[in-house]
Structure 1
């Protein structure tokens, strides 16, 4: 097919699932010059994309048959299975990129199903919120057959930077969930800290202005701590486990003193020090 003036060759691509993220993905593909077919359980969600040039499939089976490259952005693994398993014959020989958030073992199990039915499966984890799609800060983790990812790299880069994490189909999900785990741990610590400073007359809003730049600077420590996880036998930490445990114990005591006791810091102490 013809080129649209860049490295992306026009493709027929289907997108199943038109929540905020699925809609953003479909819109990025349309902006990239692709012929896009969309489907959603609630048809009204497809109307804005239809006005922008997308074809709207009446059924998920129709959408799965309409393209050589299929993008899934559905609710969960159950909903993925609900649509792809009955369409095994339609999907034979096609490439499916599953950007639905699932657990690593679910991604691997779907990969076994795909192999049995001669479907090429790529699993992905989107590290962005919908407005970021296509922007410089967005990136998507991918795992599975590297050759297939490279074959579709130009198209996938319309969503954000392509970050390949390995052949294991569960790898992208594991990285995705590890990163999200860090995010939720940070949010939990901010919520707890906000409650604590309010007992001294402070505000969570003021804490936010102080905590955000400090934590951003602290992320530079990840690179220094990584060898302690990857090759612990050769690692000499800058701070002893005893020191870290004592510091967290003081934070825990302050939480109790403020009248906002929590299990958070005991969990952090065990995780970081084993104590």
Structure 2
């Protein structure tokens, strides 16, 4: 039985399923923009604050999906999505599901097939900001799936942030998300390892950060400089006139040796050195370090690396 705030079949603009920190932030953004909202969560009490602000709560997923033309889903993973939505039955017909779960491209494509079997329009998305930034115009959300489905729901999605359409492949959003997270963790690990290296000589992290983030990153690894190299990655052109992979291997060997000498964890620099050795073995020794792109495009079996 629905509570007194539930609209059931009367209809609302949008439904949100899953009210963890991120799902609640999505729901708040819709309410804050004056949209009528239906919510459902496995633990009903998580909807109390939203109901107090005007959201409609249903007791079943079927009622939640039926209440709105578009449902935004924010659960832990695709397995949970199937478990939750399998109880919705025919409530899907003619509606749109925007799935903001995390997972892999293969899982996203399988979910799109699952939705098609149920006459359910489907977009797979990825949220690129933490919950407090949901609803800000500059906050990036990524989407993959049919263009017409995206266009029909763009105004609704824009209430959450900046909706970026990546293409018809429903796996593109989680693929981009994974790629960006990989870049984030690699950058964080590089900074933390560098701070540990100088810290082994009792240099405060604050002092290292001043040089690393105040000069090195903005100058040596400036986004504009990396963007200039992107066309070369697409073309496979890596001129070594200003530095070769062999020269970089020498530097990487010094990083690995210094880490060992200073008693700092050395797995990361050893891995970077091994990757440079693979690049040289593949014939990229006279090219610049961006030729490492050719190594990353191949599997471990193709490069001779370990799995």
TM-score by length of 2: 0.80
Equivalent in the alignment of 1:106: 107
Distance 1:130 1:216 in 2: 28
Gaps of 5+ in 2: 1-10, 281-307
The alpha-carbon distance between structure 1 residues 24 and 196, as it changes in their structure 2 partners (threshold 3 A), is same
Residues 85-164 of structure 1 aligned to structure 2 (within 5 Å): 85-164=86-165
Higher mean C-alpha deviation, range 183-192 or range 103-112: 183-192
2:20 is aligned with 1:19: yes
Higher mean C-alpha deviation, range 104-113 or range 202-211: 202-211
Distance 2:250 2:12 in 1: 58
Higher mean C-alpha deviation, range 108-117 or range 194-203: 194-203
Cα deviation 1:178-199 (Å, max 9, x = unaligned): 0011111122222222222211
Cα deviation 1:112-133 (Å, max 9, x = unaligned): 1111111111011111011111
1:236 to 234, 239, 248: 239
The alpha-carbon distance between structure 1 residues 222 and 34, as it changes in their structure 2 partners (threshold 3 A), is same
Deviation, 1:228, is 3.5
Q: Contact 1:141–1:162 (CA<8 Å) still a contact in 2?
A: yes
Equivalent in the alignment of 1:249: 253
Distance 2:30 2:233 in 1: 39
1:265 to 248, 266, 269: 269
SS in 1 for 2:94: coil
Equivalent in the alignment of 2:217: 215
Distance 1:142 1:152 in 2: 11
Higher mean C-alpha deviation, range 95-104 or range 31-40: 31-40
Deviation, 1:99, is 0.7
Gaps of 5+ in 1: 1-9
Deviation, 1:108, is 0.2
Distance 1:216 1:228 in 2: 21
SS in 2 for 1:220: helix
Distance 2:103 2:117 in 1: 20
Q: Contact 2:100–2:124 (CA<8 Å) still a contact in 1?
A: yes
Question: Runs ≥4 in structure 1, deviation > 6 angstroms?
Answer: none
TM-score by length of 1: 0.89
2:275 is aligned with 1:274: no
The alpha-carbon distance between structure 1 residues 171 and 43, as it changes in their structure 2 partners (threshold 3 A), is same
SS in 1 for 2:263: coil
Distance 1:129 1:165 in 2: 21
Distance 2:123 2:136 in 1: 22
Equivalent in the alignment of 1:190: 191
Distance 1:14 1:247 in 2: 54
Deviation, 1:266, is 2.8
Deviation, 1:87, is 2.0
Distance 2:89 2:172 in 1: 24
Distance 1:243 1:11 in 2: 62
Cα deviation 1:166-224 (Å, max 9, x = unaligned): 11111111001000111111222222222222111112233334333443552333312
RMSD, matched Cα:
2.1
The alpha-carbon distance between structure 1 residues 198 and 77, as it changes in their structure 2 partners (threshold 3 A), is same
